[in-house]
Every structure is written in structure tokens, then in C-alpha cells.
Amino acid sequence: MERTTTSDGDTAIVWFRNDLRVSDNAALMAASRHGAVLPVFIRETNSPARPLGAARTWWLHHSLERLAEKLESLGAPLLLLSGDPARIIPDLVQATGAAAVYWNRRYDPRHQAADAALKAQLQADGLSAESFAGQLLHEPMRLKTGGGTYYKVYSPFWRAMEPDIEKRPPLPAPDALPPLPAKLDIASEALAGWGLLPVAPDWSGGMNEAWTPGEDGARARLVDFLENRMQGYAERRDIPGVDATSGLSPHLASGEITPAQIIEAMRVADTDASSSDLSKFRKEVGWREFSWHLLANDPGLPDRNHNSRFDAFPWIRNETALQAWQKGLTGYPIVDAGMRELWRTGWMHNRVRMVVASFLTKHLMIDWREGEAWFWDTLVDADPASNAASWQWVAGSGADAAPYFRIFNPVLQGEKFDPDGAYVRANLPELGKMPSRFIHRPWEAPDSVLLAAGVRLGKNYPEPIIDHQAARQRALAAYQQIKDAA
């Protein structure tokens, strides 16, 4: 391959993808030891993977801004380009005379073939092209059961991988990144021109209030969690009305922090959390690993029932009910509070995610793929593995799934996990004055109570769109059908 060299041949290109950080970034560290560094982020116009949803697109804008600032301060400004990486990267090699191209691995099977092909092409051209680990604590294709296959049950998976999770201490950020010796002919595109932020309407106000995208925001959240909020995690993590979980999921999804950094920070933290809090938290991080293990080994996970018995499930198409669910207008306060939290902040508490997912797939009998798609678009932590695996887990069609016949009662779930209604009140202002006794079952409140609370059922808050007992019987009967047919 002919090159018009503008460097001394020691330039390394670092292709950023979903690893928008400078610390614990093995690809960047390897490049910094090479010589001059050219960091690039490509807005892939022909990606084989699903495009990011709206909430993650908003996040990406801010995260790239922060990453660009960090790289600039280390000495190597971030180049932004749009197009096909399989063309852009070789063009950059040619323009810089780079001897190496590095990136951190992504495990979405829809990316893997394209990444492997590009790596092979670059190596064939005589370059040092290498990929590095970081997004996960384990390599999903390497970890195998004794029988040589992949894990489909969480507990043995976790037993197999937990002993190794501290074996790769996180890397620091490079001290400095030597810039290219000569000006590059290829100009960076302007981030503002990519149109990643919503306009007309700008729905991002609640997300701006809730989040600080970027590596520093991730680190600050981790430190605050370990120092101030982790105590009692094992029990409090299920209570949506208290701020008792880390909120690290969107930072992990965009690679602003790595699981290795989290595990290491926990190991050295000066925290009042008990050993059961720490172990519970590690196990939750383990669920993310398990989800990726499943997706890497079952590429159809986001679209296809893992358990093919569900292919015959009689899902109901009901646009009105789907919209009521999406807008948080089902008449069940815990469901509606969750869906409104999601819309406002781009995030929803895990317990409530399970309740709303159960309500959609069991009470409304709407296909889990509809719910997965809505979450994909609206979650700032939307993640191809955790989202698909969790939806299938709740729907009953997944690996190691909750049994289909376990149907959450949204009233009892609300009363158990949000007993004083703090979560509902925070997300449904129209129920703000409802007494706790009726907050999860407003339709049972006497007229005088409704009047005093300013609640007009069917006017400013809906009646339940479906009766719990009737919905439960219908779902169980449908499940029996596919069981009998199997």
C-alpha cells in the first residue's frame, strides 16, 4: 500500500467507539507508548448494528464533548468523521503514515464481523492492528462451561467468573499524548453539525438535570455512591423512592467507566457498606456480564425468543394499550410512575423496570419486543445485551428466566416497595396529595378522599386500563396453550 507519510512512521490511530474515556483505556495506552497519537471517533453511516436510540444519542453528544476536552488537554485533539470505518481508517493510515491502529473490543455480534474484517485488512497491509479488552470483566466467547458450551444460568456463570474479576487492575490515563508531527489534511467535522441533540421539541431538560455525561461525571457518581449511598445497598436497592443504587449504568453503556474500575474502587473504598452490600453490588455488575455472555453467544437475543416455545405465544397487538403504557397512563400508579420517570430522565429504577415489563408482557400480553424497542429509544443506558436479556427474562422467554406464571401484581409491588408512595408522588404529581393508603389503588378511594386529593379518576388520572385478576387469568391461559402445544 502506498503512503504519503506526514509522520515518522510511529503514529498510532486510536478508534474510539463505545469507550469514551481516557483512563483504563488499553487501546489509548498502547498508542501513547507508540509515538504520535491520532484519536478518531466515526459516526458510522453504514453500521451493521442497530442505531442508537434518541436518549443515547443525546448522551453521545455530551460524552463526545467531554472526551474531546480530555484528549485535547493530553495533547491529541479528537478527530470526528462520518462514514464507513472500513474506508475511513485506511484513508487515515494513508494520510498519516501510521504504523498502528488500535481499538477496544465491542462484543455486539453485529459489530464483530465488520471489526474483524477491518483488522485483518489492516494486518494484511502490514500494520499493527490490535484490539483490547475493557468493556467487560470476562471474554464472552472464551468462558465455557465444563461441557464446552456457554452459560445459560446465572449462578454457575458467576461462580465461574467471579474469582477472576480482580485479575486485571485498571490502567491510569496516559500522562500525555504526543500529537501528529504535521497538520492533517483531513478536517474534523463539527459535533454540533451532527444533530445529536433534540430540537423542536427539546425534550432533554429532565435528562440535563439528572445526569453529567462523561468520564468525570462517571467517576464523581462512583465516588459519591461508595462514600455516601452504598450502605444498605443489599436491601435498599429494591426501593425506588430512595437514591440507593449507583446510577452508573449509562456511564457503563457509553464506556465512560469500566467494570474493572468499579471493582477496584470498591476494593480500596473507605465505605460503611457491609460485606453483603459489596457482594450484592458485585453480583449486579455480574448480571451485566451475564447479559453480554448471552448476547455474544446468541446473536439473535434482541429479536428472537431465546426459548423457541414462545414463538407460538399469542401476543396481542393493541396500539392504544401500548401507548397508554408508553405514556404512563395505565391507571396503575407504580407502572405509570416508572414510565414517566423513564420519559423525564432517560432512566428507570430496576425494580420498576421489572414491574412495567411484566405489566406489558403479561397484563397487556404485548410482545416483549415492543417494550424492548421503547426502552432502546428512551433509556440513556440502553444496552443491546442487558436490555434484550432483561426483557426476555421478565417475559419468560429468556435464559434462566422468571417463570411466566409469576405475574407481578402492580398494586402489591407498589405497596411492598414504595409503601409511603414517595416514588409515585415524585413522578405523578397528579397523585401528590393521595394518602399512602390509597396511593397504589386510587380507584378504591372514597369520593371524599379523591376530592380532597384533587384526583378526578378518568379526568386527571386514568382508571385502570385492565383489571388485574382478569388479566392474570388471560395470561395464564395463554401460557397454558403454548405449554400444551410443546
357 binds ligand FAD (CB under 6 A): yes
Q: Is 368 a catalytic site residue?
A: yes
247 binds ligand FAD (CB under 6 A): yes
Provide the b/e sequence for 236-269 (b: ≥16 CB within 10 Å): bbbbbbeebbbbbbbbbbbbbbbbbbbbbbbeeb
Total of residues contacting ligand FAD (CB under 6 A):
27
Give the shortest CB-314-to-ligand FAD separation in angstroms: 21
- Integer-rounded Cα Rg, in Å, for the chain is 24
User: For residues 396 and 475, is the Cβ–Cβ distance under 8 A?
Assistant: no
Q: Is 284 a catalytic site residue?
A: yes
- From the candidates 158, 194, 203, 287, which is the catalytic residue? 287
60 binds ligand FAD (CB under 6 A): no
479 binds ligand FAD (CB under 6 A): no
Q: Judged by CB under 6 A, which stretch of 157-165, 202-210, 284-292, 438-446 contacts ligand FAD?
A: 284-292
394 binds ligand FAD (CB under 6 A): yes
Q: Is 292 a catalytic site residue?
A: no
- Residue 466 DSSP symbol: S
- From the candidates 292, 343, 391, 393, which is the catalytic residue? 391
User: For residues 366 and 323, is the Cβ–Cβ distance under 8 A?
Assistant: no
Could you give the residue ranges of the DSSP H alpha helices within 254-367? 259-268, 275-297, 319-327, 333-345, 350-358
Q: Is 287 a catalytic site residue?
A: yes
Q: Which residues pair with 132 in a beta bridge?
A: 104
Query: Which helix (DSSP H) or strand (DSSP E) does residue 100 occupy?
Result: strand 100-104
- From the candidates 59, 343, 347, 368, which is the catalytic residue? 368
Closer residue to ligand FAD, CB minimum distance, 56 or 468:
56
- 157 φ, ψ to 5°? -60, -50
Secondary structure (3-state) at 79? strand
Give the shortest CB-394-to-ligand FAD separation in angstroms: 5
Nearest partner of 407 among 456, 357, 370, judged by Cα: 357
288 binds ligand FAD (CB under 6 A): yes
Taking the CA atoms of residue 366, residue 372, residue 377 and residue 380 in that order, the dihedral angle to the nearest 10 degrees is 130
Show the site string, 312-351: x = touches ligand FAD by CB under 6 A, - = not. --------------------------------------x-
- From the candidates 65, 69, 189, 284, which is the catalytic residue? 284
245 binds ligand FAD (CB under 6 A): yes
Residues that bind ligand FAD (CB under 6 A): 237, 245-249, 252-253, 284-285, 287-288, 291, 350, 353-354, 357, 375, 379, 381-383, 386-387, 390-391, 394
